[in-house]
């Protein structure tokens, strides 16, 4: 190979690597700022794995040689997305005072935005002072060193409902969330993610258990985007939510939509076939595929293959699993 051809080939290779490895990063520290982009984009898989609460992303195996071309493409797409992090911004534009017979408190409206995105990528939640306070206590237990210099708005004996105090807390809580999110171990922790998603998920699953599938689906579709962005490095984490959406669509007699979300859930379980949702999801997808006139034989083969490798155990249906989530 002559020198010009060698240089051209090397340039194309470098450009190909750059396209794969250059992703936006989330709240880099001073040390991360000085590292090459390619190293920053994938460092979540290298640093101190013993401190990560989200372990499933570290158990990723090599793709199975029996995968179809479509399955392999989906597998590698998910693999690459594990290195891609999303930067989120927190805004608290407004509040409202809630008065009950024996209590009165302020609800803070939190808008969570993905940088560089349009308004349809925002999530809106509400939390009260006691929710923030509980989060702070929980984080202090697990991340005492990281939380050492994090300040929290103190309670006051009087004036908690004055406009001045409420506005001060709005700014304080905005800065508080921004600071927590800037610390990798905290933003990836279950306690932080639960603070931002658990109340909505509890409400949704409560509606699902009560047969209110339309209301449950509405809430689940609202929260799934935020949950996915918060757990980008661990795609298996949103499988229960995706499966709950499948259950709602199926019970609302929307098989096409149920199958669509089922495919999303299955794609995250390609190499996690021991996951408790894998077999119930496969069984549901076989039923949906048959109903829709789609290929169900490949799904049936996966089910039979799993059964030959595993000892017979009792497996819940997808709906039975879903109604057990977030039970107090």
* 90 within 8 A of 106, measured Cβ to Cβ: no
Which carries the bigger pLDDT value, residue 54 or residue 193?
A: 193
pLDDT at 67: 61
| Residue 219 structure tokens | 């809430």
pLDDT at 78: 57
Neighbours of 31 (CB within 10 A): 8
Phi, psi of 47 (to 5 degrees): -90, 125
DSSP secondary structure code for residue 46 in this structure:
T
Average pLDDT for the chain:
80
Nearest to 249 by CA among 208, 279, 280, 209: 208
Q: Is the pLDDT of residue 84 over 60?
A: no
Q: Which residues contact 231 (CB under 8 A, 6 or more apart)?
A: 54, 193, 237, 238
pLDDT at 266: 96
| Residue 307 structure tokens | 């059964």
Q: Is the pLDDT of residue 328 over 90?
A: no
Q: Which residues pair with 94 in a beta bridge?
A: 109
Q: Which band of pLDDT confidence, cut at 50, 70 and 90, is reported for residue 77? A: low
* 208 within 8 A of 216, measured Cβ to Cβ: yes
Q: Is 247 exposed, middle or buried (0-12, 13-18, 19+ CB in 10 A)?
A: buried
Which tens digit of pLDDT belongs to each residue from 151-168?
Answer: 998 887 777 889 999 999
70-84, 188-202, 306-320: the lowest-pLDDT one: 70-84
Q: Which residues pair with 125 in a beta bridge?
A: 110
pLDDT at 64: 52
- The rounded distance, in Å, linking the Cα atoms of 328 and 316 is 20
Q: Is the pLDDT of residue 185 over 70?
A: yes
Boundaries of every domain in the chain: 88-188, 196-324
Which tens digit of pLDDT belongs to each residue from 123-140?
Answer: 999 999 999 999 999 999
Q: Which band of pLDDT confidence, cut at 50, 70 and 90, is reported for residue 294? A: very high
Q: Is the pLDDT of residue 14 over 80?
A: no
The CATH homologous superfamily to which domain 88-188 belongs is Phox-like domain (3.30.1520.10)
| Residue 3 structure tokens | 């020198």
- The rounded distance, in Å, linking the Cα atoms of 146 and 158 is 31
CATH of domain 196-324: 1.25.40.10
Q: Is the pLDDT of residue 32 over 80?
A: no
């Amino acid at each position: 190979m002559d020198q010009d051809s060698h240089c051209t080939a090397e340039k194309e290779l470098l450009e190909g690597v750059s396209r794969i490895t250059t992703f936006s990063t989330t709240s880099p520290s001073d040390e991360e700022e000085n590292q090459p982009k390619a190293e920053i984009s994938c460092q979540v898989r290298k640093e101190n794995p013993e401190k990560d609460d989200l372990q499933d992303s570290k158990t990723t195996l090599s793709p199975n040689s029996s995968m179809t071309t479509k399955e392999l493409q989906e597998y590698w797409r998910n693999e690459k997305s594990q290195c891609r992090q999303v930067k989120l911004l927190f805004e608290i534009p407004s509040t409202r005072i809630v008065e009950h017979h024996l209590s009165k408190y302020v609800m803070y409206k939190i808008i969570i935005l993905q940088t560089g995105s349009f308004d349809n990528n925002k999530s809106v939640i509400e939390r009260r002072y006691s929710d923030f306070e509980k989060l702070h206590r929980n984080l202090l237990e697990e991340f005492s060193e990281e939380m050492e210099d994090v300040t929290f708005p103190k309670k006051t004996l009087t004036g908690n409902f004055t406009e001045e105090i409420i506005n001060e807390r709005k700014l304080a809580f905005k800065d508080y969330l921004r600071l927590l999110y800037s610390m990798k171990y905290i933003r990836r922790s279950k306690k932080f993610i639960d603070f931002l998603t658990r109340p909505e998920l509890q409400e949704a699953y409560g509606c699902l258990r009560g047969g209110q599938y339309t209301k449950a689906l509405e809430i689940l579709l609202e929260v799934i985007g935020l949950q996915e962005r918060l757990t980008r490095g661990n795609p298996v984490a949103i499988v229960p939510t995706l499966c709950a959406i499948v259950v709602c669509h199926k019970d609302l007699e929307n098989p096409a939509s149920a199958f669509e979300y089922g495919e999303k859930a299955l794609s995250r379980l390609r190499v996690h076939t021991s996951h408790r949702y894998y077999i119930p999801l496969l069984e549901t997808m076989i039923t949906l595929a048959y109903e829709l006139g789609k290929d169900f034989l490949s799904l049936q083969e996966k089910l039979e293959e799993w059964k030959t490798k595993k000892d017979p155990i009792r497996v819940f249906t997808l709906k039975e699993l879903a109604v057990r989530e977030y039970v107090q």
